[in-house]
Structures are given as structure tokens and as C-alpha cells.
Structure 1
Amino acid sequence: MVFIAIAATLGSHLQVASAQNSAAQNSAAQDGLKRKASWNRFDAASMAQMMRSSMDEFGVTPDAMDRAAEDFLNAIESDDADPLDAFVKVTSRMIPVIGELVSVSNQNISVAAASVDPSTPTYGAIESLPKSMRMTLRTWLGRELVRARLYDEALPVIAEVDPVESIDPAAALYYRGACYHALMMKKEALADLRRLLENKDQAPVRFTRTAQLMVADIKGLEEDSLDEISRLMTDVTRRLDLGHTSETTEKQEQKIIDKLTKLIEKIEEQQKQQQQQQQQQSGGNPSGGGAQGNPMEDSNIAGGGGNGDVDRKGIDAKDGWGNLPPAERNQALQQISRDLPTHYREAIEAYFRKLATDGA
């Protein structure tokens, strides 16, 4: 009986210890989930303090910093202003390079983006700003460029941003992720968008919902697929809409042609293999009729099977693909898109209609 009591006591202690250990593990797991997010949203007071610290480092007087912090908080709390807009508006009155950049961006956003290039004098002035101020300014300008669909110009502006050093980490991750998504930089887009979603409870709903859609959209993107070709066509159309007829646009157009050629050749090769398999299954008799080895009777019509060789579609640059006459272009389009899903067929036809219009 003593041994039974001891065993029962030990069992009871072991159960308690097991429960405590399980609780500790659950607590640790929950803490791990909390620590998983690599960024956190700053409240208005924290953002104002970050701005004050940057101004202090830059050499702004205490009185001026007080007024700036008050204006910043009023803009956010009373006027419901966007934090990035409020930050830029307040600091532009005291930091010359920020005021100059904002003024230029109001006139021509592309010129403002170019002023951040390392070859320009403005670049040195921007890079000399305190880190938090610099990261916030780049986040703001990158956002404006993404909103204008100027993704190539936005990328060098926002790529170097450390989100946790900007007063709005969610905006930095969202707009940079959107930029990568538009430029089909799959790995980079997924990294930023998934990082944003680590802490989706602290990000604006419009960011998280759109980020989820972009992740679902791009994670299945495969090289040389119809999906990629369609996206390239959309990108070229965007560039042409913006008046960008640069070498980059021409390279994108050539990439589309090369990928279409590769895709057509792949389809033709598959058709050739299928025809060869059909011939082998019919015993080498192209007609597919009559007993194997028996000659066809004169009254029978010969089958139309062949050896599977087909003419290659000549759409290399040397063939003047973009300059084909309308009748030949339409015929080529029909050959390319006749077996494609409606979405891709419409994208291809819209793309080449755009080229024809611009080239007219």
C-alpha cells in the first residue's frame, strides 16, 4: 500500500510538472509568435519623437523642434493627415534639401526621383540627413512614384529604405512590395509583402488586403509562362502610356517576342511528338485505317497524317514583327492566340493593338 501511495504521489507530481511544462511551452510559443514580427507600428507620439530626434541631430533649435512636433501632432490627430505627408510638410520648412525635393516633386515627380541618383549634388545632401529622416523621406518619395506607376524610378529610391527606421514601416514595406510586384521581382516582392503581413493587425486594412492579393498573385509566377508574357505585355503598355520609349522598353518588347517564340516552338515540338506517337500506335500507317501491312483499296481516301514538321513562325526582330502590315499581323495573332485561354488571348491582342497604334 505504501508503494502504491508513493506511486500515486509521484504520478500526481509528474502530471503537475507535465502541465506546468506544457503551459511554459505554450507561453514560449506565444512569445515566439509575438517576437516573429520584425516591425511595429509607431503611434503619433513616437513618430513625433523620432522627428524631434532627427531635427536635434540635424541642428534645429529646441523652440523650432517644439513647434514642429506640435504641428505634426495636430496634423495627424486633428486633421487626420497621413503621417508621411505631415512629416514632409513640417520638415520641409526647416530642412532645405527636403523643401527643395518637395518643390521639385510637385512640378515633376520624375525629376525629383532623378535627383536622388548618386551622380547628382542632391544625393549627397539627402544622404547626410539623419537616418530616420532620410528613410522617411525616401519612403514618402517612393510612395509618390509608385502611385504614379513610375516603378523603375521608384525602385532605387525605396529599395535602400530600412522600414523600421521610417516613421511608417508598413508604408515602406507595402509600397516597396508593390513596386517589386509590378516589376515581376518575385523573390523581393514576396519578402516585403510577407514581412508586412507578419504584423497585419498593426497595418492599415487596405495594405494587408491588397498585400494578400499580391502574394497570391505572384507566388505562382513561372518563367516563360503565358502568365509572365501577359504581365510583360501589361508592363510595356504601361511604359508606352507614360511615354517611355527608352531602351528598357525596347528590351522588354524584345523579351516578349523571344518568349513568345520559345513558347510557340515548345507547342510545335509537343504537337510533333504527339503526331509521331499516333503514327507509332497506328503501326506506322499514316492513314490510321485498314489492317496493318495491308495495302489500301483504291476506293479509300488517304489520311492526312504527316511527319509533324511545321513551319516556324518568324517573329524575330529581323522579321519586322512590330511593323507587319495589318493583314499579316492579324494572321500572326490568330496563329499565336487561337488555342490560348481568353485572358491571355485578350492581353496579347491588346498589346499588339497598342504597338500598332503607337507605331502608326
Structure 2
Amino acid sequence: MAIIAIAALLGSHPSNARAEDALKRQASWERYDAATMAKMLRSALDEIGVVPDQMDRIADRFLSSIESDDADPLDAYVAATSPMVPVVDEVVSTTSMNASLAAASTDPSTPTYGAIESLPKSMRMTLRTWLGRELVRARMYDEALPVIAEVDATESIDPAAALYYRGACYHALMMKTESLADLRRLLELQDDVPVRFTRTAQLMVADIKGLEEDSLDEISRLMTDVTRRLDLGRASETVEKQEQKIIDKLTKLIEKIEKQQQQQQQQMQQQSGGSPSGGQDQGNPMQDSNIAGGGGNGDVDRKGIDPKDGWGNLPPAERNQALQQISRDLPTHYREAIEAYFRKLATDGS
């Protein structure tokens, strides 16, 4: 980001051209033009033994797709190599039918893994970038991560796509450090990558850099993640752990709010020199948030996880008590999100 700021100060005067070029060269990666991509493709084809005539035809078809048909480089690459490279064709075909199954092809325990790993590095990195992109677009972030995590962006024909989709994957999984690293690296050359990448990357950076552990923002994101998994038909142990984490964090947040309210009441009592009006015991905080007729103190019991029980269906009194205490000092849209989340769990019978 410092490079970008300095470049902006230099302006566009011709006398500063060499200085701008020097700043650009400090970036940790570069975007390849169509000719360079074609050269990388030819080199990979040569490495696997494709004869020169066939290399020429494939490279020409690839260049034509990009320059004449304005095709996406990753799509053009897999389309050009599929007829000649069986494992590329297999991954592309499987992805169109079952993306989750295609993701498993990069697992070391599968036969396909060996075939992928035996590809020339640029072809392997490009195929992983393409597959990772497809999985991220399908919101299958858990499957996308092992596919794209180890991609060397500079070896893929589209480094910007590798950095962008991996950064987006980390962002969705709330892996703050990793997400910021990839997205900020992408923005080193923000003038050379698609506008849709830079604008979205800037938004993701601004969004996640302020994320704090145990905040309501984090809880809301965890709820969104669980909802996504349920929408994809996932009811695994990972989902159950995420659900329990949400309950634990909500409990911790409620206790924190209660403690703050107790401290405030104690300060008010000390300042007034007496007990709160009505003789209410200061040990019973937030009394104006209690449900009529309820005698609970707002604590949320740790819920056992059992798929048969639908753990998210907290007893109404406990749920409402928790929601009322949370919403007392926080924006109401968070309460709406929490209520929607619990309704979703109740409907799905998680």
C-alpha cells in the first residue's frame, strides 16, 4: 500500500516515468500479458512431450480465445489443454458434475493427486487456481482451501486470480492474517488487475482488518458461516463445533455486558449514596431487560450437541433473555441477525 501511495504522489508527469517503473518493480509479482501466458503454455506442453506442431496449434487457439474472443485466461487455458492432458480433462469434467468430488482430486490419498502433481509446475498451479476459483464461486471454501492454499501465484498464468480467490477464501473462513496477506499483495499492482478484483479486495481488506475475537461482529460471521454450510447440506462435526462456538461466545458476551451493567450500577449507587430505587438488589443486573414473569439471570447454559435434538432450539426463556441482554447496548440489526440465525437452525432441524 505504501508503494501505491508514493506512486500517487509522483503523479503522471513524463519526468516521473522511470520512478514509477522502479516502484512497480518492487511488487512481489507481475501480471502476464497474453504472449507471456502462451509462452508458459508452450513450455509446459513441451515438458510433457507434445510435438511442436501440436504445441503451435494449442498455443494459437489459446491466444485467439484471449485476444479475439475475450475469454478468461484460466478458462482458455483448461479448454486448450484438456484435449491433450487427460488429468486436466478429468478435473474439468468432474467439476461440471460434482465440484466437491473434483476438490477431492487434490487429496494425496486419491489416484488423481499423483497425476496432477506430475504436471509441469505452471500447468499444475494454473489448474489448481482454476479449480480453486470454481469452488470459491460455489461458496465451498473448506474444499477450496487445500486446493488453492499452496499455489505459487507467480507460477500460475493468472497470478491476480490466484491471489484474489485465495484471499476471498481466507476472508470467508475468517483467517484474518492470511486474507490480508494475499489481498494486500494483490493490491501491490492494483492498476494492472481487473477493477472487479481491486475494488472487492479493498472492501474485503477494510472489512476484515478490524475483526476482533469474541466481538459480536465475529459471532455474526460465525452464524453466517453455519448458515452457508447448512445451505450446502452440511451437517458435519465441523458445523456442530461452529454452533457450539457461537453459543460459548454469546454466553461470554452476555456475561461481559452483565458485568459492565453491575459496575455501572455500583458507580451510580456510590455517587447517590444509597441503593437503587425500589430497593432492587444490585446483584440482579439489567432488571429492565427481564422478561415479564421470568426469574432467570440471563445466563445461557452450555448446550449439549446432539443432531437429534436440534441444539439451536434453546428454551424460549433462555433465548429471549439472551437476546434482550445482548440487544440492550448494541445495534438492533445484530439482534435481528441472531434471531434469524436461530430461526434458521430451528427450521432446518440441525
Deviation at 1:74, TM superposition (A): 1.2
| Equivalent of 1:156 in 119, 128, 146 | 146
Q: Among the aligned pairs, what percent are the same residue?
A: 78
| Equivalent of 1:307 in 282, 286, 293 | 282
Match of 1:239, as an amino acid?
A: R
> SS where residue 115 of structure 1 aligns?
helix
Match of 2:121, as an amino acid?
A: K
Match of 1:304, as an amino acid?
A: G
Is residue 2:57 matched to residue 1:67? yes
User: Could you tell me which residue of structure 2 aligns to residue 15 of structure 1?
Assistant: none
Distance (Å, rounded) in 2 between the aligned partners of 1:315 and 1:28: 65
Distance (Å, rounded) in 1 between the aligned partners of 2:335 and 2:319: 14
Contact in 1 for aligned 2:62/2:76 (Cα 8 Å): yes
| Equivalent of 2:158 in 144, 161, 168 | 168
Contact in 2 for aligned 1:233/1:351 (Cα 8 Å): yes
Q: TM-score, normalized by length of structure 2? A: 0.86
Task: List aligned pairs for 1:157-196, cutoff 5 A.
Answer: 157-196=147-186
| Equivalent of 2:303 in 301, 308, 317 | 317
User: Could you tell me which residue of structure 2 aligns to residue 268 of structure 1?
Assistant: 258
The CA deviation string for residues 75-131 of structure 1, in whole angstroms up to 9 with x for no partner, is: 111211110001001111101111111111111000000111111111111111100
Q: Go from structure 1 to structure 2 and tell me whether the alpha carbon gap of 1:54 and 1:42 turns closer, same or farther (over 3 Å shift).
A: same
Is residue 2:108 matched to residue 1:122? no
Match of 1:112, as an amino acid?
A: A
Is residue 2:58 matched to residue 1:83? no
The CA deviation string for residues 205-236 of structure 1, in whole angstroms up to 9 with x for no partner, is: 00001001111111111000111111111111
Deviation at 1:33, TM superposition (A): 1.8
Deviation at 1:333, TM superposition (A): 3.2
Task: List aligned pairs for 1:31-110, cutoff 5 A.
Answer: 32-110=22-100
Distance (Å, rounded) in 2 between the aligned partners of 1:277 and 1:305: 15
Distance (Å, rounded) in 2 between the aligned partners of 1:349 and 1:233: 11
Q: Which blocks of at least 5 consecutive residues in structure 1 are unaligned?
A: 1-25, 288-301
Distance (Å, rounded) in 2 between the aligned partners of 1:69 and 1:345: 56
> SS where residue 265 of structure 2 aligns?
helix
> SS where residue 81 of structure 1 aligns?
coil
Match of 2:63, as an amino acid?
A: L
User: Could you tell me which residue of structure 1 aligns to residue 293 of structure 2?
Assistant: none
The CA deviation string for residues 319-356 of structure 1, in whole angstroms up to 9 with x for no partner, is: 98523355764454334334421331221111111101
Q: Go from structure 1 to structure 2 and tell me whether the alpha carbon gap of 1:133 and 1:317 turns closer, same or farther (over 3 Å shift).
A: same
Match of 2:275, as an amino acid?
A: P
User: Could you tell me which residue of structure 1 aligns to residue 275 of structure 2?
Assistant: 286
Is residue 2:190 matched to residue 1:220? no
Larger deviation: 307-316 or 148-157?
Answer: 307-316
User: Could you tell me which residue of structure 1 aligns to residue 197 of structure 2?
Assistant: 207
Distance (Å, rounded) in 1 between the aligned partners of 2:314 and 2:28: 53
Deviation at 1:282, TM superposition (A): 2.5
Distance (Å, rounded) in 2 between the aligned partners of 1:186 and 1:314: 29
Contact in 1 for aligned 2:219/2:250 (Cα 8 Å): yes
Distance (Å, rounded) in 2 between the aligned partners of 1:315 and 1:29: 62
Contact in 1 for aligned 2:183/2:201 (Cα 8 Å): yes
User: Could you tell me which residue of structure 2 aligns to residue 351 of structure 1?
Assistant: 341
Q: Go from structure 1 to structure 2 and tell me whether the alpha carbon gap of 1:252 and 1:137 turns closer, same or farther (over 3 Å shift).
A: same
Deviation at 1:279, TM superposition (A): 2.0
User: Could you tell me which residue of structure 2 aligns to residue 3 of structure 1?
Assistant: none
Q: TM-score, normalized by length of structure 1? A: 0.84
Match of 1:314, as an amino acid?
A: V
Deviation at 1:312, TM superposition (A): 4.3
Q: Tell me how many residue pairs correspond in the alignment.
A: 320
Q: Go from structure 1 to structure 2 and tell me whether the alpha carbon gap of 1:192 and 1:77 turns closer, same or farther (over 3 Å shift).
A: same
